[in-house]
Amino acid sequence: MTGIGDCEATPESQGRLKTIRQSDLTGQMLVVTRNLRFANLRDMGASHTEKIFVTGHRGMVGSAVCRRLANTDCELLTATRKTLDLTKAEATDQYFETHRPNTVVFASAKVGGILANDKFPVEFLTENLTMAANAIKSAYRHGVKRFLFLGSTCIYPRDCPQPITESSLLSGPLEPTNEAYALAKIAGLKLCQYYRRQHGVTYHSAMPTNLYGPGDNYHPEHSHVLPALIRRFHQAKQVGQPHVQLWGTGQPRREFLHVDDLADAIVHLLSLESPPDWVNVGTGVDLTIRELAQLVAETVGYTGEIQTDPSRPDGTPVKCTDVTLLRESGWTHQIDLQQGLKDTYAAFRQEVDTGKLRSA
């Protein structure tokens, strides 16, 4: 597993824990302790099997986490929305009472691009907030000791210093175009932090940057920027369209992380005995939307003109994460954007050919 496998075990931690010490962002000593219950998933015997509940397993993130855990010795629990609606408190509590997971990876979310967030702020706030509150409360009530909540870097202020550090949380106003979603994710993060502080359970959060990869949502109006570009350039190439117009000026800068890298980071975070309350997950490298569009066009093989539409909103001007804290814990991304785009476009074409393309 990517991580800190070469760390030396301290005498007091033989068997269950491994500890290293590194300097954190403030120059103080950061103690990084591996929980071998997770670090050695591949080597665990049946009597030590971890029961991990991955919510949202049919989404891009949840399915990536399931792929990452598929060849380990853990018992993987999943539930479709038809089986379990996390917005229903009673049903959520019943699921936890029946299945008794040891660990939860919370990958459920109502997500969408700028247009969807702007049109449906009530749904983005209430559904995401309700799912998080129900799951966290039921997890604690039924003895879950480990809960990893997945949010987004949109939780940080619109104009916070770049690159974004974890300490930027709640230091200024949010980006208005996705404020509702961000508020729900901040609430989930804080709820985990408070349960940890008040009850001593390891409930913590990961805040990934913009994600892409297999299983993304390619809705023509409600998808995120990268899948939207893949779909538009693919269709433009098919019909011989002379130009493709970008939403906004094309100047905002964004960072992108392949979803399989996120899944690996999640397993890494589960291997830490005392992880940060929340931590950024990204590459630390950004580019403009126009530069991204050019990369997508080259990947797809589109040779037409790329235009911009400044009358459309840009969103946050710059959003790039400071990933120092995560790197100091022993993890870094492995998939560069150029290769990731090639793999993602290949997956997109396969999903189109098999009728499995997500566009809802």
Domain assignment present for 189: yes
Q: CB of 250 within 8 A of CB of 11?
A: no
1 part of a folded domain: no
Measured torsion, CA atoms of residues 48, 51, 57, 60, in degrees rounded to the nearest 10: -40
The CATH number assigned to the domain holding 36 equals: 3.40.50.720
Return d(Cα 228, Cα 336) in angstroms, integer: 20
19-33, 65-79, 205-219, 283-297 — which is least confidently predicted? 19-33
Phi then psi for 119, rounded to 5 degrees? Answer: -80, -30
Q: Is residue 25 part of a domain?
A: yes
Helix segments in the chain, DSSP class H: 36-39, 60-69, 89-99, 114-119, 121-141, 179-199, 225-239, 259-270, 289-300, 324-328, 337-353
In tens, the pLDDT along 141-195 reads: 999 999 999 999 999 999 999 999 999 999 999 999 899 999 999 999 999 999 9
Residue 237 within a domain: no
Residue of 17 and 288 predicted with greater confidence: 288
Range of the domain at 99: 11-215+255-285+318-335
Catalytic choice (95, 140, 181, 203)? 181
Q: Is 181 a catalytic residue?
A: yes
Residue 271 belongs to a domain = yes
pLDDT tens by residue, 40-65: 553 333 334 799 999 999 999 999 99
- DSSP string of 79-138, one letter each residue: --TTT--TT-HHHHHHHHHHH--SEEEE-------HHHHHH-HHHHHHHHHHHHHHHHHH
The first and second tokens of residue 330, run together, are: 């022993």
Global pTM reads: 0.86
